Each structure stands twice: as structure tokens, then as C-alpha cells.
Structure 1
Amino acid sequence: MTNAIKVMIVDDEVLAIKHLELLIPWEEIGFVITAVTTYPQMALEMFRKHRPQVIFADIRMPGMDGLEFSKAILRTGIPVHIVLLTSYKEFDYAKEAVKIGVCDYLLKHELHPKELISVLERIRGELKEDEQKEALIRRQLFNNLLKGLEPAPEQTRLLSKEGERHGNLFVFLLLAANTAVPILPGLLKEPRTEPVWLNEAPEATGFLCLDVLPIGGQQWGVILAVSKPGSYLQTHNETMAMARFLQKAFIEQRNETASVTISPVFHNLAELHRIYVSCDRILKYAPFFEKECIIQSDSIPKKAADYWMELHPYVVRAAAQLDQHQTEQACLTVSEAFAFLIKRFHLDGVMLLCRELVALLESFRLKRQLAKLVDRAVEEEVSGENWVTFMRISVWFQHMFREAIREAEEKLSSRYSWKVRQTLERIREQYKEALTVESLAEEVGISGDRLRHVFKQETGMTVLDYLTQIRMDQAKQMLKDKRVKVYEIAEMVGYKNSQYFSQVFRKTVGVNPLVYAEGKRFSDEMEN
């Protein structure tokens, strides 16, 4: 049964398990027993493997009692309904279990089929209600991520849980209706707005569909979790099968064809905006192909790919410098990028660079709740003279980078005290050094304890957490360059011990540096 609710039974008595299994027709009422064990110590591992939604556990078991077992299960953060089986003399004990989050308790030796079915029906209702609430919250989170908005703290926690629940392996498919190129816009029909839905991915594809999101411009984003990790070739074949399945569903629901582009596997849902932008850029080439195409990165004209390969290091560097408020360094990078392309008369390359820089500035301003770039340009009364030559455009972009950083820092100034702003600035400038709270406190002229208190109060994180965040951001940028070794990156971001750096990176990012680097390089190849 595909949609059956999964159940696990934990009891040290084999006969008690058998009695529960035979008490009601589980599958007829929509439940399936996927795991049983008489060893509570093994149950936690079985729970992680089978992911049941309901657990029935005896409250008295040798080695680990039901209360201790329940606490261990609930600490995983994985949603589950636990029902403890008790006797009369264990009521007080059972009530204590309910306080920690156990769903219910039942009399073990007087349990009747009607009572058990009643409990299961109530759980079914609660699961459905929880699922609907979670789906709404998750959809809002995904929509925000697609738009490039930073998630709120509670959304960040949900994001982390989603990643852990699905093994931090995801694929994004961008689906777009095959619409006419607007050569004569007045003759085109209004775009249709009917939704596209997908209850679940076919089991054979090895994916779990997390959501299908409508995006402006007749596009739909499909977020998939990789439920059955395999080789590169296997994943490629399965994503192609998934794309064809989506195209078939699109025709059935709208009687229209659609084109699809597929992202490489990625490990962090927070990257959704970057992944979408990459897929959107590739999907713009759909008119070069037949209708209902599945566009691969190697299908894009080589000339365009060559421009991106040449520009990519500049764009990555400028993005990191802009994010770290390194004004002069960012402006120098912009200047070098334009000079490189102007010298070679790369007309298309310059236009691509302009689009990338606009996207960087728009994303930077959006995340920091600044006015849109176009509105900012209107405020300055930008004239055509500013954009007559590429050299002047280069100067204009440098000016926009300076203004964006200045406005962002002014906004920070209104939010943080002077001491905290000084600390943030010193960490961004000196993250390569052996910084401590005490050394930073001495530089800004307050005690270490005082700095810890005000920094946590104003930013919501500790000084060392922020330092780690800056170092990991820099490390992620450096890992894109396969010529640089992990131990070299460790030293460049302030860690003397590369093994300790790898441990911190894995704890922060979710994967070790080498796995992350391979994923990013594969992603870059897909973009190219």
C-alpha cells in the first residue's frame, strides 16, 4: 500500500507483538506494520531506517524502558506518534511519558480491537492535519528561497530538518510551457494560469516530490528529494525519466507541451535560488530546440559556455567580496572583468557580465531589504550617457557596488551598536587570523564577557559562530577551484589543523569539504 501509514512495534515479549499484529486487519484500515523488534536498544536504528509514523512500545522492557526509549526517539526530531502499552500499576509512569511528548497510552492486556482502531483513526486525523500545516509552511519556505529571500529563524530550523529527513540530496527541475517567442506581441494569446500538480513521483525514479511551485512566466519548479542514491549514470537516467513523466503529466492536465531543464544533485535547500537562476538561464534556450525538449547543459551553444567559463571566476569573486562588504576589492574585480572582455571585443561576453552583475546586485539588495536596483538608478537620474561605452558601464557598476555596500552598512548601523559593528567589521577583515573573543574585545575596547553578551543579544549568534560562518562562506568559495587543496584552504581561512577544519565544515555545511567540492564542480559543469 503506497499511502499506508507505517507502524513499528517494540516489545520484549514475542507473544505480545504477535497479539497486536493479529488484533486488527491493519492493512484494511490503511496501516502497515513495517518493523517489529524485541530489543529496544536496536529499535532506534530500525526507526531511522524504516521511518514509521506510529510506534507502539511496551512501557516496561529490560535494558531500556519505554520512557527512556521514547525520549531517545523524540530527540531525533523526526515526527512520530508514540503509543505506550501499560498495565494498571504503571498509570503514573505513563502520564509522565505523555508530558514528554508521547501520543497516548493503552492498557496492554485489556486492549480491544475497537479501542485500537479508534486510537489509530485519531492518529490518522492528526497526521493529516500535521501534514497539511507542514505543507503550507514548507511551500512558503520554498517560495521564499526561490525568490532569494533569507529564511526566518523558524524556517531555518525547518530547512535543517528537511535536509536531515531526506539525506541532504536534492534535485530541482524547472518546467516551462512551450510558448511562442513574442515577435509580434500583439498577436499572442494571454498566458494560461491553470496550476500543475503532482501528487508523488513514480517510485521507480528514486525520487520523492517535495513540492511543485508555480513561478512567474509560465514556469513551475519541481523540488525532488533523492530517496535512492545511486551512481552518476543511474541518477542521470532517473532524472530524465522524471522529466519525461512531468512532461506527460503537463500534457494530460493542460493539453500543452513543456520543456524541462534539470539541476545537478545539490546538498542544501538554501541553494534553491542559485539553482533556479542556473536552470532558468539554460531554459531560455528552449526556442533553439523542438517542443517538449529536455535541455542538458552540453546542449547549450559552446560559444556561450566559453564566455561563462571565462567570466565565472570574476563573478564568484565579486559575489563573495560584495557579500563581505569588501568595497574596493569588489570594484577592482568588476574593473578587471570588464577590461578582460573589452580587450578581446567579447560583445556577448560583456552583455552576459552585465546580466550577472545586475543579478548579484539585485540579490544583495533584496536580502538586505534595500530598494530595487532599477529604483535606485531612477533616484540617481541615470542618463544614457552612463551606458554609452563599456568603460562607462564598468564605472557605473563600480559605483552601484559602492552604493549597495554603503546602504547596507548604514542599515546595519541603525540595527547594531557601535561595538558590535566594529566587531563584525574586524571579523570580516581578519577571519584568517587566530581570533578569539578576548582579542576582539580588546580591539574594540570592552571586556570579553560584555562583548559576548551584547553580540549575542543584537545578532542572535555568538561571536565564534559568526566567525565560523564567515570562514565557511570563504571556504565554500575557495572549494570551487579544484587547484586549491583542502589543507591550503584550511590555512587560508584561519585553521592550522586541516582535520579540525574538515570537522567544522561538515558540522556547518552538512558534508565534508571534498564531497561539497565535487558537488559544486558538477553543478558548475551543469551551468556551463
Structure 2
Amino acid sequence: MYRVIVVDDDVAVLEFLEKLIPWQEIGFELTGAFTNAFDAIDHCGTAIPDLIVTDIGMPEMDGLELIRKLRSEAQATQFVILSCHDEFHYAQQAVKLGVQDYILKETLSVESIMGIAEQTKSKIDDSLRHRHEMEKLTDQAQKSKAVRKEKWFRNLMLNPVTEDGSMMEQLREYGLNPNLGHYIPVLWRIHSFNAAINRYEKEDIVKFIVENAAEELLCEEPDVVFFSYSAQEFCLIYAFKKDLASNPYDKLVRVSRMLQQAFSKYLKLEFSAIVGETAANGAEIRRQLPDLLSNADQFFYFDEPKIVRSKEIPPITNQEDLFMHYFEYSERLNRLLLEENRNVEQVVDSFIQFIKSRRFQPSNVKQMVWKLALDMQLKLIFSQEYAKEKAQQSIERMLNVNEIRNWLLQFMKEAVLRAEQISKKSKKTEIVDAQKYVMLHLDRKITLEEVADRLHLNPSYFSRLFKKETGENFIEFVTRMKMEKAKALIGESGNTVEKVAWMLGYDNKSYFIKVFKQHFGASPSQFA
């Protein structure tokens, strides 16, 4: 429904317009009736009406002056003038001001006002339809340009072989002035991507709001161009003219801090930025871009979002095989479950501190954490119920080591709690204790008599009880646990069959291979 106000110093006319015209029947809501132009202007300051019906001859400010005052703020508003004067110069001024109609008060009637109101409504409808169509076309054009811009930039990052002239022409098209002659690229990466997904639910939404916010924030920075790369990263290219009077990095840091603070305050998203070096042409920009993307992996070890120059942070050069340490940390985490140890934080933090001190490749860290979690889910009888695909996706999205730490800590707390719940549900605590004992001593020979003695039970009674409660005899259980562990260890880098046999308490390699074949129907070497 459209809004209408009426203005007339003649109270009788005002009451006629206010009370006798069925505005709602013709699609209007009467939001105000005023006896002077000043009150009408005050009202329009809070809500611009779609139609204003005003007297022309009012004291202090007449109707024509009222229209002049409002025209700049109410460009889409339609005006109808009421007048006692049938004079040409009044009508002429009204036409110049774009007035919809000019009515003599002596001809004023409900029908005439309704007829004009309906014509005005039709005109507003047409104007709105036209505006919506134009906005739709503009939006489509902007989206098309944004898609082309992102596609071009992604191709540049992945295949940096564009000719210099062609590249500079594209940068000009996207708003960068190539005549300035010097450029600095900046690569941005979100600090905690899982936090962003938790807040906005989907990657596309995160990407959309970041793109729109960045474009809006940079609209007053004519020499800085934004390029979207993914939901996690975007890039800025800053153009400047080299002189001794100013330092381009000072301005770039100012712009970067402005973006960083705005993203944090309004979007609740934290970003880090790595600032490249000065480039004198397109070829030098191209050479830097893939390196900046690769160097952004160094953000993985940042405790908090930062803005740094590429030459200020050491590269991740550790090529050590992280999985050489897998067995050690797998055992530590598994013991937390088996012993129902609530001191999870200490063990997790010890692992994270080890990762930080050695600065392993982030992709290897994430793979290691996923394998540790998966091992507990698949191999341990007390594993928690966890959605594997969701866990893997969550780990893969992690962009800093503190995200890894928080996720693993929560995972282990839930796992320990789950282990406790399973233990409490068991009718025979002796069986639970026996299973725990086996899992904690897979590195040596375990006999039925040894465990029975530990539980203060007769070996024959213990054997029958174990079979009754679990559906398998005790030796079968021990062998199954050792073989499952053997399969995991054989897949680890640097573990030979002989070494794995020794790690699981088998003195005879041939016997170990025989047992392994019986259990899996294949030799250990096929799992290496």
C-alpha cells in the first residue's frame, strides 16, 4: 500500500481530504494531514510519502516552495496541487516542478480526487516496475562482471602465463590505473573458517558477504582492486606512483587494518593478510601471486590474525615425516579412552605443542589428526559415535593449529565420556577390565591365566564368563585386537613386518605372518 499526505491551511478542505476520501479503497494509506508546509517537511524527514496533495496558497511557505524543498529528497514522489487561482503562471510553475495534476478547489470532489489518485497509483506502479527491471538488469550485469572477474583471477593464480599487455588491460577494466606504474599484491585468508561456517552455515554465504563487504569498504579507495578467489581467500592489488614523499606500504597497511577491523566488528570474521613486494609490471605481479597463496599456509601457526609482509615470516620448510610419530601419539590418546582419563587437555596440548615446535606442513597435520580420530573410531571397542564424513570435512577446513587443538580436545572429551558410559552399561565389570588390560598391553604376550589372576578369578570360570559375555573366547579377542593394530601399524611409513611383529609381542616373524593371513586372508605385505 502506498503512503499519502495532505497539506492545506483551510481546515474544512483538510477535513474533506482526510475523512471523505476512501484512500484505502484505492490503495493508499493516509499517514499525515497538515495545516502548514513546515510540519509536512518534518514528517517527510522520517517517511517519504508516495503522493502529496498540497494547497498552493499557504502563508509563510506556499505549495510550490514546499515541492521545491522536497523534490531532491522525494524524487519518486508524485504531487497534486489544489488551488483557488486559475492562473497560467501557477500552472506553468507546477509543470516545471513535475506536478502530477492541478485541481481548482471549486471543482474539488470525491470523484475527482479518487480519479487523480488512481492515475497517480498507476504511474507509481509503472515507475516501480521500471525501477525493479533496471535494478534487476544492473544486478545481473554486476554479477556477470564479478563472475568474469573471479574466473580471470583464478586462472591467473593457477596458470600465470597471461601476456603482460593483456593482463594490464584486464586490470584497467577492473578499476586499476596502470599508469601509476607500480603495484603491491596482498593475499587475505580467513583465520578460522569453521567458525565462519558455524556462523553463516554455508561457504557460498561466507564468500558472498565477504565479497560485498570488501567491495563496499573499498569504494573510496580508487587505487585498490579486490579479487575474490575462494570462500577462504581473496586478494587486493594496490597501484601507486613511486615517489620519495610517501611510503606505499603505509597506505596499504592502513587500508588493510580498516578492512580487518570492519570484518571483525560487523561480520564477526577474522582475517590475516600477507603483503607482497613492489611489482613494476604484470609479470612481477604474476610471479608473486602463487607464492603468496602458498605462503599463506604460514598463517596456520598464527595464534591470532595478523597483517605481515611476506619477507617477515619464515617459510614452512620442515619435510620430516610426521607419521613417524603416529604410533606414539596414537597410544597416548588411546590410553585416555581405555583408562577413562579425564586429563585430556594435557595430552592434547602436548601433541599440539609438538606440532607447533616442529612446524610441520599443515596438510600433514590435518591428515594425522584425521587418522588419529579415525583409528579410535574404528579400532577401539570404546570408540565414540561420530559422523566420519562430517569430522573429515571439518578438519580439512581448519586453517590454523588452534582450530585443530580445539576440535581434537572436544573430540577426545566426548570419546572419554562415551567410554565411561559403555563401562557403566556393562553387567560384568570383570569383562570390561579384562578388555582394557588387553588394549593397554598389546605390545607383549598376554595369557588367559595372567588376566584371570589379575582379576582374582579362576581361569576356567573367567574363560567361560568371557565367552558368554562377548561371544568370542579370550584368545580370539586378544588375537583380533593385535591383528587390527598390526594392520594399522603396517600402513605406517617406516614400519617393516618384522618391526610390527616385535611391537605386538611376537618373537617369531613367520608365526606372526601366519596369524595375520588367517585373520585377514592376505599377507601383511599386501597392506603395506
- The TM-score normalised by the length of structure 1 is 0.32
Q: Which has the larger radius of gyration?
A: 2
